[in-house]
Amino acid sequence: MLIIMRKSADETVVDHIKEYLITRNFDIHQSTGANRIIIGVIGDTDALDTRELESLNGVLQVIRIMKEEGS
């Protein structure tokens, strides 16, 4: 799963999202670009509600990565 943060999201907001995920036992990988911060969520994300995540302050978009068949 990828969480794309808004340009206006400050470090406090990004830290809140990361804490939210870590307390739910997900590993994360943050990629910081010139215009966006993307948080990769590692783990079984089936239990995460994309609508709930998108409602969090600073989140622009949530993209669920589909599992490969047979995996």
pLDDT tens figures, 31-53:
999 889 999 999 999 989 999 99
List of residues 6+ apart from 40 with CB closer than 8 A: 1, 2, 28, 29, 30, 31
Q: 41 pairs with which residues across the strands?
A: 28
CA atoms within 13 Å, Cβ hemisphere of 55: 5
pLDDT score, position 70: 65
Is the pLDDT at 68 greater than 80? The verdict is no
**From CA 18, how far away is CA 59, in angstroms rounded?**
12
Is the pLDDT at 66 greater than 90? The verdict is no
Q: Are 13 and 60 in contact (CB under 8 A)?
A: no
Give pTM, 2 decimals: 0.89
CATH value of 2-63 in 3.30.420.40, 2.60.40.10, 3.30.70.1140, 3.30.565.10: 3.30.70.1140
